[in-house]
Amino acid sequence: MTTSHIRPSAAGTVGWPPEMVRRYVAAGYWDGQTLTAPVVAAAAATPEAVALVDGAVRFSYHELAARVDGAALRLRGLGLRPDDRVLVQLPNGWEFIVLTLACLRLGVIPVLALTPHRHHEMSYLAEHAEVRAIAVPARFRGFDHRGMAHDIARAVPTVQRVLVSAGEPDIGAVGATADRAAAVDVDLRALCRPADDVPAARTLLDAAAPDSRAVALMVLSGGTTGLPKLIARTHDDYGCHARRTAEISQFGRDTVYLAVLPMAHSMSLGMLLATLRSGGRVIVASSPAPVTALGLVERERVTATAVVPAIAQSWLNHQEADPRHDLRSVRLLLVGGARLPDQVAERMVPTLTRNLQQGYGMAEGLVCLTRIGDPDDVTTRSQGRPICADDEIILVDEDGRRVPPGEPGVLLTRGPCTPRGYYRAAEHNACAFVGDGWLWTGDIVRIRDDGNVVVEGRDKDMINRGGEKVSAEEVENLAYQVDGVGFAAAVAMPDPDLGELVCLYVVPRDGARVTLADVRSVMESAGVARFKWPERLELVGALPRTNIGKIDKKALRSEVAARLAAEVDRSTPAP
Ligand code: AMP
């Protein structure tokens, strides 16, 4: 087995300046605890309480903690050491929770990929984070993740292990991938068995707890660059996020949280950790489909959940058409990740919940939330205010000048949950962070007199497809690999269900014939996550340009929106 050298994670991170560190510690934002310490404490306080429900699996806190410790020690037995990275690509389920907590407990850094990611994204993440292991389901939604993980392991010398969770029946896959195996397969479910000697494991792991200032995990930016950037979050800063989320959402032992969104998303992971640190119960939803999710809400008496607007809208439509599910247990419904239209927000109370909570934030750190008890005008028309009093926000115009109060501008932020740079991305950091460590979010917002943020648009080249972020640049780079593409521009087009979809404008070269199928087939061959594939192709003779010669994306967005509206008009029969 190779033991390729991997550099320490700290080498690629940008820390906070010492005076900020002192300030955040003194103010109690950074409490010096690891992310798992409060979960371990909850397990000690209420060992018999149910921590986790995933289909037929029901773990008490005692069992969860015993499994986390068991997995942590077995990871160590496999040679994984604090600061080593593991690429985790697991669907929502108990294995994700146990493995992620085990990594955090040991100080191993989980790098959280999404299940739709394919070779294109996964190989880059494995290489960039220099991961020692990859955790995947054998198959998921018909795709052979194990085979992909082995292909990556062959190409990326740091990868020594592939941790595989059985999941869907693996017919044929074992034979098909065994030949390609470069790394050693580890049965993830066996790895996640309870520790053989629970008290001894606990003592050992408590004594070896990582430093709270160390990198705890890496999440992906919903960025605008060729491939997603990695954001290294420390125990202290992510702990602050989880703790403030729990406090603001009034989580406690009676919280029953339905995990619907992919747990690898920062908003979802934050809620998960907020629940477990509060001694509450996590219910894993296998699908956000209304019948499945709302059925679980009713059966498990769910009190809180977090969704993107597209899911909220589908639940609302379902419940309004047929209010068969009793949702009275839902005390809090967090909606974020994309803009919730005010009119939809107004319909949500009381049909879906007693309290609508809107959220705006990013994996880079800043989180804004409305508060329980806020007036309806705040919860239905704003995306909330920062979770920490020391989150700093300023709004600037195109020239970087502060805008007058009440006017929209691009939001820049710094704070105790917002690291000062992406992981190993010095060049990109030079433009993504401006002045003295201000993160340029590219979101255009307005701040109301009451301090709540209203998201009005964005000044960044990204498409928000139902909460999944697609970088226009990444799509364009891939489009240029299609024969006959002269110029390409990816823009958002409106969609009634997902909010936005990817539309690709192409200027063909020398009258070449380019089809949507050509573009999609190139993306498929390159192993690109499906949610990034364009849904519409517009062939044009030239692309509009701004007066400084840049492609005028605003004009393209308006044009495709107008075309879609005209198509709807034409297909609607006259009264
Ligand atoms: P992610 O890091 O994937 O959560 O993506 C963060 C980005 O999602 C933000 O920079 C915004 O562009 C967008 N976003 C998050 N929440 C909202 C919201 N409530 N309204 C509009 N856009 C949002």
Q: Which of 455, 459, 498 to mutate to test the pocket of ligand 1 (most atoms within 8 A of CB)?
A: 455
* pLDDT computed for residue 164 by the predictor: 98
State the Cα–Cα distance between residues 165 and 145, nearest whole angstrom: 10
Helix (H, G, I), strand (E, B) or coil at 8: coil
In the predicted structure, residue 51 carries a pLDDT above the cut 80: yes
Which residue's CA is the closest to the ligand 1 atom numbered 4?
Answer: 362
Helix (H, G, I), strand (E, B) or coil at 285: coil
* pLDDT computed for residue 572 by the predictor: 76
Q: Any idea where the domains of the chain sit in the sequence?
A: 31-286, 462-569
In the predicted structure, residue 317 carries a pLDDT above the cut 50: yes
What is the Cα 570 distance to its own chain's centre? 38
* pLDDT computed for residue 222 by the predictor: 82
User: 531-540, pLDDT tens digit by residue?
Assistant: 999 999 999 9
User: 330-359, pLDDT tens digit by residue?
Assistant: 999 999 999 999 999 999 999 999 999 999
State the Cα–Cα distance between residues 507 and 540, nearest whole angstrom: 5
Return the residue matching tokens 């070779």.
119
* pLDDT computed for residue 227 by the predictor: 85
- Cβ–ligand 1 distance for 441 under 6 Å, the answer yes
In the predicted structure, residue 368 carries a pLDDT above the cut 90: yes
In the predicted structure, residue 70 carries a pLDDT above the cut 80: yes
Which residue's CA is the closest to the ligand 1 atom numbered 12?
Answer: 443
User: 36-45, pLDDT tens digit by residue?
Assistant: 999 999 999 9
| Tokens matching residue 537 | 């192709």
Using the atom order of ligand 1, give the atom closest to the CA of residue 222.
3
CB 233 within 8 A of CB 219: yes
DSSP state of 115: T
**Domain 462-569, what architecture?**
2-Layer Sandwich (3.30)
114 strand-pairing partners: none
In the predicted structure, residue 177 carries a pLDDT above the cut 50: no
Helix (H, G, I), strand (E, B) or coil at 3: coil
* pLDDT computed for residue 570 by the predictor: 82
* pLDDT computed for residue 167 by the predictor: 62
Mean pLDDT of 216-223: 92
Compute φ and ψ for 149, nearest 5 degrees.
-60, -40
User: 460-493, pLDDT tens digit by residue?
Assistant: 999 999 999 999 999 999 999 999 999 999 999 9
State the Cα–Cα distance between residues 498 and 463, nearest whole angstrom: 11
- From start to end of 421-476, where are the E strands? 433-434, 438-447, 453-458, 462-465, 468-471
**258 C-alpha to ligand 1 centroid (Å):** 21
* pLDDT computed for residue 5 by the predictor: 77
pLDDT band at 2 (very low <50, low <70, confident <90, very high): very low
**424 C-alpha to ligand 1 centroid (Å):** 23
CB 126 within 8 A of CB 84: no
Using the atom order of ligand 1, give the atom closest to the CA of residue 219.
2
* pLDDT computed for residue 411 by the predictor: 98
Return the residue matching tokens 């087995």.
1
CB 387 within 8 A of CB 245: yes
In this chain, the answer to whether the domains covering 31-286 and 462-569 adopt an identical fold is: no
pTM, two decimals, is 0.95
- Cβ–ligand 1 distance for 455 under 6 Å, the answer yes
In the predicted structure, residue 574 carries a pLDDT above the cut 90: no
State the Cα–Cα distance between residues 162 and 137, nearest whole angstrom: 10
DSSP state of 418: B
Compute φ and ψ for 540, nearest 5 degrees.
-135, 160
State the DSSP H helix or E strand holding residue 290, giving kind and residue range, or none if neither: helix 290-300
| CATH topology classification for 31-286 | Rossmann fold (3.40.50)
* pLDDT computed for residue 575 by the predictor: 63
pLDDT band at 180 (very low <50, low <70, confident <90, very high): low
**458 C-alpha to ligand 1 centroid (Å):** 10
pLDDT band at 526 (very low <50, low <70, confident <90, very high): very high
